[in-house]
């Protein structure tokens, strides 16, 4: 029987990867309490400009700030989603914190997956090259890849060049775009496109199976702040400013 979603992993595996990512979303949403929102101090000067220049209500503004913090937490989970999908292809497995993200079961391929092409500084890039080069040296027939799921082009090429002022190169260390890597592992040229087209259908199917009554309560930060404004009679922005900067000169008068 043909798969419903993509050709290269089972429907069961595909839905399970979506379930894992959904759980990460729920956890991230549930973690945004007032305390976590304030952890790094809220820039209420910027929020004031945002509110006035972009004509956004204070409630919507704070909700956007909460979503921004959730987004920071989720970005890493998206990379894990790709690892899990690719690890379900026959002949490959995920690393489970073993130093690589994906490898072939015959040790002829090792890969480190980054969701975006620009997520590393030069020191991180140097460290990654050195790690991939060690795998290439330890496994004499292995090809080792820096995978950029969202890259600036479609490519598979030898990774060489100047990193941190040092010249790096290895005959079996490569960098590769997400579409090419999905094609390489699956044997299907349009595998990444299959994934993209299948996601809306598979997510809808998954959500139909989830009991909404049992979902984790979403972030409480805005509710907590609103509750404080009822007592203090401050605006939401003044309340956040007071709770973050009441020790600044004059701010105790808010």
- Determine the Cα–Cα distance for residues 208 and 22; give it in Å rounded to an integer: 13
91 by DSSP, 3-state: which? coil
What predicted TM-score, i.e. pTM, was given to this entire model?
Answer: 0.83
Does the residue 51 lie in any domain? yes
Higher per-residue confidence, 190 vs 116: 190
Comparing CA positions, the residue from 101, 104, 129 lying closest to residue 115 is 101
Does the residue 226 lie in any domain? no
Does the residue 199 lie in any domain? yes
Does the residue 25 lie in any domain? yes
Structure tokens at 167: 């010249």
Q: How many domains does the chain have?
A: 1
Does the residue 238 lie in any domain? no
Structure tokens at 218: 């979403």
Q: Determine the structural domain holding residue 162 and report its residue range.
A: 11-214
Residues 93-131: tens digit of each pLDDT: 998 777 899 999 999 999 999 998 777 888 999 999 999
| pLDDT given for residue 219 in this prediction | 64
| pLDDT given for residue 235 in this prediction | 92
What distances in angstroms separate CA 248 from CA 37, 110, 165, one per listed residue? Answer: 19, 52, 44
Average pLDDT value for the chain: 91
Contact 75, 83 (CB under 8 A): no
Does the residue 122 lie in any domain? yes
């Amino acid at each position: 029987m043909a798969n419903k979603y993509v050709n290269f992993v089972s429907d069961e595996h595909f839905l399970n990867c979506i379930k894992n990512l959904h759980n990460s979303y729920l956890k991230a949403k549930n973690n945004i309490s007032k305390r976590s929102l304030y952890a790094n101090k809220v820039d209420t000067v910027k929020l004031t400009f945002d509110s006035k220049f972009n004509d956004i209500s204070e409630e919507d503004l704070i909700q956007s700030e909460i979503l921004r913090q959730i987004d920071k937490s989720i970005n890493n989970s998206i990379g894990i989603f790709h690892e899990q999908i690719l690890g379900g292809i026959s002949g490959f497995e995920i690393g489970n914190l073993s130093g690589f993200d994906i490898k072939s079961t015959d040790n002829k391929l090792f890969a480190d997956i980054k969701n975006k092409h620009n997520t590393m500084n030069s020191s991180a890039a140097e460290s990654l090259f050195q790690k991939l080069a060690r795998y290439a040296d330890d496994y004499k027939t292995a090809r080792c890849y820096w995978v950029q799921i969202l890259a600036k082009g479609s490519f598979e090429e030898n990774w060489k060049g100047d990193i941190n002022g040092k010249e790096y190169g290895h005959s079996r260390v490569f960098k590769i775009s997400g579409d090419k890597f999905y094609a390489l592992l699956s044997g299907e040229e349009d595998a990444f496109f299959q994934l993209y087209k299948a996601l809306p259908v598979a997510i809808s199917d998954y959500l139909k199976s989830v009991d909404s009554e049992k979902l984790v309560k979403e972030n409480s930060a805005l509710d907590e702040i609103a509750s404080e404004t009822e007592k203090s009679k401050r605006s939401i922005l003044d309340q956040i400013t007071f709770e973050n900067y009441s020790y600044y000169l004059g701010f105790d008068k808010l």
